[in-house]
Chains A and B, each alone.
Chain A
Amino acid sequence: MELVTPGIGLIFWQTVTFIIVLFLLSKFAWKPIMASLRQREDSIESALRMADQAKLEMQALKADNEKLLQEARIERDRILREASEAGTAIIEQAKARANEEGTRMVANARQAIENEKKAALTEVKNTAATLSIEIAERILKHELANPQAQQALVNAYIKEVNLN
């Protein structure tokens, strides 16, 4: 019975001491400790959150870069393609023009040759005609050098005229 009978003295001291220790510890130990713990946890949490955010931002940045790069690549491809097209077109054009020019020059040359040929032929004809006349003159001069021949000729002509 002794063991389970609470003594008034110990109840008194325990009550007083416990109230004091509860007050002192709450005010001067638990309050600052809990506050520091909370503060540290908050700072850790915010640091983690910031790290996460930074990670996200990095990802966004990377994605942006990737997009820019992709766009640049497309742009480059486009420019290259356009350039090559333009090059081909220019070459084609130049070729066409050259062809045309060539054809024209050939035609001109042919025309000129034709003209020259005609002129040359005319001259050859004229020369041949002159030569023929001169030859004929000389032959005639030679043939008609004696008066008999001349007589014979006149007779021949007169015969011809008679025929007509």
Chain B
Amino acid sequence: MMFLLLIFEFNKLLMKKLFTLIFSLFAISGFAAEPAAEGGKFDPGQMITHHIGDEHSWEFAHGATLHLPVILYGKNGLDIFSSKNFYDEHGNLKPYNGYVKEHSHIYYANEAGEPVVETNAEGKEHHAGPLDFSITKNVASLFLSVALLLIIFFTIAGRYKANAGKAPKGIQSFFEPIIIFIRDEVAKPNIGPKYERYVPYLLTIFFFIWFNNMLGLMPGGANLTGNIAVTLVLAVFTLLVTLFSSNKAYWAHIFKTPGVPVALLPIMIPIELVGILTKPFSLMVRLFANITAGHIIILSLFSLIFIFENIAIGPVSVAFAIFMNFLELFVALLQAYVFTLLTAMYFGGATEEHDHVEDMGFGGNVKDHH
């Protein structure tokens, strides 16, 4: 538990630093705005948002862009075309086939090539667009990571068959301690006797997050695990598995918390019910915030060079960015571990057999496990 607390403290520290950095950045960009006005103002905020967000094409380096397929479903039915169609020969954005792309979002276009504006029920105006199922940079990165996962672990599984009963070799011996660690140190102590059912899920989620965290740190990589949609889905999976494997004791703990007087139950039940959702919610936010924060810090450090427009700041900024990159390599592993560990703990809470069921609601001599 100490270790976890340390992580949370660390996260807090990181977030605090991040905010001060961002605020100082905005302040500095305010200063820098005037002299740089004629040469095209550098906006670090926009650059960073652009980098950590999603795109319809994958720019590995300036000029080396992979145009990814756009898949839209809306009032025109299903539309599939290349995102290249949104660009003219000079690389400027243009409307295509009744759609217009703006800030990496695709909207319906009107006659003038502008996004159609709709007013929602609350009277707020917003751009109207189709449902976007495009293979974006993040989705492409997701497929890449999945391909990597499948290739690596199928190879390892093959090795286990090939030299059964022998000592592991090569890639097999690199991943075996990690697999055993997840099984023996994460699943076994936190879930209890029924841990074996959950090991495949924990292994998948651990390696999925770790691989994607690492891929996100590659130059030109996508910020997949720093995307709230991805962490949302992972957290929902954990929630669903928790709920489907929950036993009587788990629900008894929620609706009839042991040791709590009956008069307090009307307060306790809603709290416990919200608690079911806050656990995966914290999983979602923790992973998203940590990975995004890392990306923002590194990009901010690089932005310093362009903000100061001074060669002296270069080495300092690069040194800090390198340090942050190493830290992020560690955070990539750590966050994968934390997500997996907490998932295992939630599973453990859902499958735990309470041996004091008969004492429930009487308090006093109740030994609480938590």
Contact = CB atoms under 8 A, between A and B. Distances in A.
B191 to A, nearest CB: 15
Interface residues of B, number: 47
Interface in B2-58: 49, 52-54
A91 B98 CA distance: 136
* Interface SS of chain A: helix
B229 A29 contact: no
Contact of B54 (A7, A30, A40): A7
A7 B229 contact: yes
Most A C-beta atoms less than 10 A away, residue of B52, B131, B135, B204: B204
A37 B160 CA distance: 8
A5 B154 contact: no
A37 B200 CA distance: 14
Given A2-B49, A30-B204, 20 more contacts: A3-B49, A6-B229, A6-B232, A7-B54, A7-B227, A7-B229, A8-B132, A9-B133, A9-B134, A13-B133, A14-B142, A14-B234, A15-B233, A22-B201, A25-B204, A26-B201, A29-B154, A32-B160, A32-B161, A37-B179
Contact of A10 (B71, B136, B153, B200): B136
A144 B119 CA distance: 213
A18 interface: yes
Nearest to B285: A4
A43 B160 CA distance: 15
Contacts of A161: none
A34 B199 contact: yes
B160 A36 contact: yes
A150 to B, nearest CB: 153
8 contacts: A3-B228, A6-B228, A7-B229, A13-B135, A17-B142, A29-B156, A30-B203, A34-B200
Interface stretch (B59-67, B143-151, B257-265, B327-335): B143-151
Contact of B179 (A10, A18, A21, A33): A33
B338 interface: no
Interface residues of A, number: 34
Contacts, number: 114
A14 B176 CA distance: 27
Given A8-B132, A10-B54, A32 B157 contact: yes
Interface of B: 49, 52-54, 71, 131-136, 138-139, 142-143, 146, 149-150, 153-154, 156-157, 160-161, 164-165, 176, 179-180, 183, 196, 199-201, 203-204, 208, 227-230, 232-234, 237, 288, 292
Q: Which of A14, A21, A40 has the most CB of B within 10 A?
A: A14
Which secondary structure dominates where chain B touches chain A? helix
Among B133, B142, B229, B292, max chain A CB count under 10 A is at B229
A11 B156 CA distance: 29
Contacts of A20: 146
A39 B201 CA distance: 21
A21 B157 contact: no
B167 to A, nearest CB: 9
B139 A25 contact: no
Contacts of A37: 160, 176, 179-180, 183
Contacts of A3: 49, 52-53, 228, 292
Contacts of B203: 25, 30
Contacts of A9: 71, 131-134, 136, 139
Nearest to B104: A2
A3 B52 CA distance: 8
A31 interface: yes
Given A3-B52, A18-B237, A11 B165 contact: no
B142 A13 contact: yes
Interface string A45-87: 0000000000000000000000000000000000000000000
B364 to A, nearest CB: 44
